[in-house]
Amino acid sequence: MEHIFTVETLDYLYKGGRLSRTSAIAGGLLDIKPIIEVDNNGALVAIEKVRGRIRSLKRLVDIVGERGVDLTSQTIGLVHGDDIETMNMVKNMLIEKYGCRTFLESYVGCAIGAHTGPGIIGIIFLSEKSPYLI
């Protein structure tokens, strides 16, 4: 399974020790939003940096299209950190772009939420590497 997400602010990544103070300040001034994945070991790894919230959300959706397999048939997981409005916007983007039909929606878990803060938006989906594909 692929777990990718983006954050609204870099403050919590800094407070959780995932980002240096200099990077947090510079990234905040430049409106940098990292695209982060959970790797096979459960670690948070930044895979891209995008400028602007809307661009970061669009990039999340693009990555789902690049890595995902049979998106119309699988159940897509959507998680948020107290931002259901943005999660619904991402859901609509997935429906329009890839014809996704089935979703599981929830709040992000406390472990990741503690490091990312409110405003996190995540997508969980099966990729071609998944052993769970039928």
| Residue 18 is assigned to a structural domain of this protein | yes
**Across the chain, what does the average pLDDT equal?**
93
Task: Give me the mean pLDDT over the 100-124 stretch.
Answer: 93
Task: Give me the mean pLDDT over the 78-96 stretch.
Answer: 97
Helix ranges (DSSP H) in the chain = 11-15, 21-29, 53-67, 84-98, 110-116
| Residue 8 is assigned to a structural domain of this protein | yes
Length of the chain (residues)? 134
Check residue 1 and give its pLDDT.
87
Check residue 134 and give its pLDDT.
58
| Residue 70 is assigned to a structural domain of this protein | yes
Token pair for residue 26? Answer: 């510079």
**Cβ-proximal residues to 102 (8 Å cutoff; 6+ apart), any chain:** 74, 75, 76
Domain total in the chain = 1
Q: At 133, is the pLDDT very low, low, confident or very high (cuts 50, 70, 90)?
A: low
Check residue 132 and give its pLDDT.
66
- Specify the pTM: 0.92
Residue range(s) defining the domain that contains residue 77: 2-125
| Residue 134 is assigned to a structural domain of this protein | no
User: Any idea which residue has 């870099």 for tokens?
Assistant: 10
**Cβ-proximal residues to 33 (8 Å cutoff; 6+ apart), any chain:** 6, 7, 8, 49, 50, 51, 52, 53, 55, 56
For the stretch 24-76, pLDDT in tens is: 999 999 999 999 998 888 888 999 999 999 999 999 999 999 999 999 999 99
Contact 119, 81 (CB under 8 A): yes
| Residue 119 is assigned to a structural domain of this protein | yes
Token pair for residue 80? Answer: 């948020």
| Residue 130 is assigned to a structural domain of this protein | no
Q: Percent of the chain beyond pLDDT 90?
A: 79
* 113: CATH: 3.30.1180.10
Output 6 or 133, whichever has higher pLDDT: 6
Q: At 112, is the pLDDT very low, low, confident or very high (cuts 50, 70, 90)?
A: confident
| Residue 133 is assigned to a structural domain of this protein | no
| Residue 131 is assigned to a structural domain of this protein | no
Check residue 8 and give its pLDDT.
95
